[in-house]
């Protein structure tokens, strides 16, 4: 049994879920998933692919910088040619419209206990980040990759990681593996002149827990040739999806329509025209 490695990056929206977003705005996490046994060989292959990369005047080795003004297009083409014929890896991605998330939350009913006029609902301090909502769904997909490899360990590698995001990201696995969840609602009791809390616990007797195979997740910041490749793939996929949205309007982000024509679409895992998250987080849905 060996680890599954996921070299990933993010693009687009990732911040707090508050206010109003355009219907075209979306966030994306994408990357290269492969078993540990193939990491060394792929990294060595990519060293050769990137050997002619011209980084003159580039402050940071990042897709937006190295391909600025049409530079290094031969290297980019060589990378996608290599990835298209390379076996034993998959492109895993998750994307989400923040306005779709906001619309869904607005459409959910207010708990009965908070509809009493003597209560004034208090603002929640624990704001949600779009990044973590996207990561949650990505981990569920990576759990399936671990199942295919008979692995219980997932190693997630990126070139840069904000420490606060890292801490929040690690907490996502623990939430996904719980069969009992607690929702705490708060309100100001105008009669007692104090904040009161109500806890709602939901427990599934025969749980269909989204994450069933992964026991441990290690997230690390380690620049490598594979992380650079993941950065380029993520940036290219984000640009591809953005182009589709701007030209066609709303699209389901994980559909065949969305990924049609992407340079390495044959490597994409979990494409689904009926993906439930695309239905839930539809930015055009007004409730």
CA distances from 255 to 64, 237, 241, 272, 278 (A): 26, 13, 11, 5, 9
| Total-model pTM | 0.83
The pLDDT value given to residue 207: 43
Instruction: Give me the long-range contacts of 211-215 (CB less than 8 A, separation at least 24).
Output: 211/139, 211/140, 211/143, 211/173, 211/176, 211/177, 212/143, 212/147, 213/143, 213/144, 213/146, 213/147, 213/151, 213/152, 214/139, 214/142, 214/143, 214/146, 214/152, 214/153, 214/154, 214/173, 215/152, 215/153
Which band of pLDDT confidence, cut at 50, 70 and 90, is reported for residue 107? confident
The pLDDT value given to residue 206: 40
Strands 119-121 and 180-189: antiparallel
Query: Which residues lie across from 217 on neighbouring strands?
Result: 154
- Identify the residue whose tokens are 């490695």: 5
User: Considering only 24-38, 215-229, 252-266, which range has the smallest mean pLDDT?
Assistant: 215-229
Name which residue leads in pLDDT, 43 or 171.
Answer: 43
230-277 tens-digit pLDDT: 999 999 999 999 999 999 999 999 999 999 999 999 999 999 999 999
| 23 neighbors 283 (Cβ within 8 angstroms) | yes
User: Considering only 15-24, 51-60, 274-283, which range has the smallest mean pLDDT?
Assistant: 51-60
146-155 tens-digit pLDDT: 999 999 999 9
Sorted by where each begins, the domain ranges of the chain are 4-280
174-215 tens-digit pLDDT: 666 655 434 444 455 556 665 555 544 334 444 455 788 888
The pLDDT value given to residue 61: 80
| 17 neighbors 98 (Cβ within 8 angstroms) | yes
Which band of pLDDT confidence, cut at 50, 70 and 90, is reported for residue 141? very high
């Amino acid at each position: 049994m060996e680890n599954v490695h996921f070299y990933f990056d993010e693009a687009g929206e990732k911040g707090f879920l508050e206010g109003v977003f355009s219907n075209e705005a979306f966030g994306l996490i994408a990357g290269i998933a492969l078993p540990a046994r193939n990491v060394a060989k792929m990294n060595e292959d990519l060293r050769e692919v990137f050997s002619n990369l011209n980084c003159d005047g580039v402050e940071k080795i990042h897709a937006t910088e190295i391909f600025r003004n049409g530079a290094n297009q031969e290297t980019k083409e060589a990378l996608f040619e290599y990835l298209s014929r390379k076996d034993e890896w998959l492109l895993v991605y998750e994307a989400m419209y923040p306005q779709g998330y906001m619309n869904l939350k607005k459409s959910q009913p207010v708990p009965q206990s908070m509809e009493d006029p003597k209560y004034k609902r208090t603002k929640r301090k624990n704001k949600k980040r779009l990044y973590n909502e996207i990561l949650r769904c990505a981990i569920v997909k990576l759990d399936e990759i671990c199942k295919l490899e008979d692995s219980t360990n997932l190693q997630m590698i990126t070139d840069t990681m904000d420490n606060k995001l890292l801490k929040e990201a690690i907490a996502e696995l623990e939430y996904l593996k719980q069969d009992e969840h607690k929702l705490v609602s708060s309100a100001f009791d105008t009669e007692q002149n104090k904040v009161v809390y109500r806890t709602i616990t939901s427990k599934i007797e025969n749980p269909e827990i989204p994450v069933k195979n992964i026991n441990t997740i290690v997230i690390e910041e380690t620049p490598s040739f594979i992380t650079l490749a993941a950065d380029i793939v993520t940036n290219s996929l984000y640009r591809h999806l953005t182009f589709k949205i701007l030209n066609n309007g709303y699209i389901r982000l994980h559909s065949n329509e969305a990924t049609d024509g992407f340079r390495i679409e044959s490597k994409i895992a979990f494409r689904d025209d009926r993906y439930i998250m695309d239905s839930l987080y539809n930015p055009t849905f007004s409730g």
